[in-house]
Structure 1
């Protein structure tokens, strides 16, 4: 897959998550599981890992359990006093770490590149947990409109990073383009009456911060993934496309809880 095709896949996933944010926690959880599944499917090939089936299984299972736990907490109406909708994710992360070690113990290939395999699996699991944070975004002060604001900025930043520009150019441009898109999307949310209980002025600030963060994440991911030889193959390209969407989930939740008060 070409960089433009990979970026198009990211845009499609971003659009799917943005629409799912308005459809309720169950649908949004399914969208988050899809992001984690695509990440898991290509993660071993992207990093040329041994025992690919086991790594795919533990990453995909982590994404499924994390999204389900978050959806249950949102449906139960857990607020900040009860630990918030993400209260179950530390336990999921801890159990996923144990799962990564169990996977290594179950290997029958002599366990070559053991440290590399464990590190890569745990990193993939961390991204899967961050993807589950999208399920909690509509439960923040900002509500569901925050998801398209952040994802619009991410989409623009990823599109910039998919160009043939060198990273020293594409990185700063992605950062600025993400911040600008976030500001415009936040302002549009206010203009369309989606500000909710959040003061309108906060939306512009949150859009800029979230957009700049999305641009930084997109540029950092390009700097990492572009160096990997397998990044152009189909399974690996799905992981490259899904990772920025997963990574933005945690940032979106932080913006919704900390900036949009």
Structure 2
């Protein structure tokens, strides 16, 4: 038997061995985030019937009022703006809900009034002034708060974002003034109302990533159908209106679907109203450059 002592394997230093509870470095966190796909919360995969109903109702109301009078379109948009003002603070869980609702309501009334009181083109010439006054009101609201102003930046940005969404919807009011504008407005609203039918596809795992494209497809087809029924010969602008209206609205609802407050009815109505109002500026630009 050899007298040479058997060599033992070196034991690892405990200080160098990572423990499960040890904090990760930034590089490790970045590597884990790249390797682990982000999972959407369950609430983001639910179809909200109240939001879908609000969107379809807005599309039908604006589409029909477009054949009556541009003033009625402005009033229909104002109704959606007031609904959004009512539910916007709950949707975003804002710290001063009553003040934010007041600011958005005042902004809706001011911007709608500028359109109703303008009788000749450009019909949106006083919109910047109304928007500026509304933004000043948003800052005054923050100065008048008596709760210590928690989450100040979030509250200000949410109020101004809400005003921007409402102003986008007001852009629908001048569309019927264009020759054939009432048909173009109906095509856009058809795409908005029909495109919402693709929302339940989000629950199906295999087609979830195609929900936006399905919404765009059926929205574009709906716009063309409305153009044919109305006897308006410009099919491709109508298809573009329906496609873009469905795409913008669907994308906005998908973004808001992850918010925890989407389980509440008031927040669902606000999501439907805001996703519908965003279509306004898109429809205005398409009508201005491809229909007028």
Out of 111, 135, 155, the residue aligned to residue 117 of structure 1 is 155
Residue in structure 1 matched with residue 123 of structure 2 by the alignment: 85
Instruction: Give deviations 1:88-115, integer Å, cap 9, x for gaps.
Output: 1111122211111111111111111111
Larger radius of gyration: 2
Aligned equivalent of 2:79, options 34, 38, 44: 34
Where in structure 2 are the equivalents of 1:66-215 lying within 5 Å?
Answer: 66-73=111-118, 76=119, 78-79=120-121, 84-163=122-201, 164-165=203-204, 167-190=208-231, 195=232, 200=233, 203-215=234-246
Which structure has the highest helix share of the two?
Answer: 1
Q: Deviations over 1:61-91 (max 9, x none)?
A: 1111111111221xx2x22xxxx11111111
May I ask how many residue pairs the two structures share in their alignment?
244
TM-score by length of 2: 0.79
Cα distance between partner residues in 2 of 1:66 and 1:228: 28
Kindly indicate whether the alpha-carbon contact (under 8 Å) linking 2:184 and 2:241 is maintained by their aligned counterparts in 1: no
Instruction: Output the CA distance in 1 between the equivalents of 2:113 and 2:130.
Output: 10
Q: Label 1:90 to 1:162 Cα distance change in 2 as closer, same or farther (>3 A).
A: farther
Is the 8 Å Cα contact of residues 249 and 279 (structure 2) preserved in structure 1?
A: no
* 1:90–1:12 distance in 2 versus 1, CA, 3 Å: same
Q: Does 1:256 align with 2:273?
A: no
State the alpha-carbon separation in 2 of the partners of residues 70 and 18 from structure 1.
18
Q: Does 1:7 align with 2:52?
A: yes
Cα deviation, residue 236, structure 1: 0.7
Cα contact 2:80–2:273 (8 A) shared by 1: yes
Report how far residue 222 of structure 1 moved: 2.3
Q: Can you give the 5+ residue segments of structure 1 that lack an aligned partner in the other structure?
A: none
Correspondent of 1:25 among 70, 78, 85: 70
Mapped to 2, the partners of 1:133 and 1:94 lie a distance apart of 16
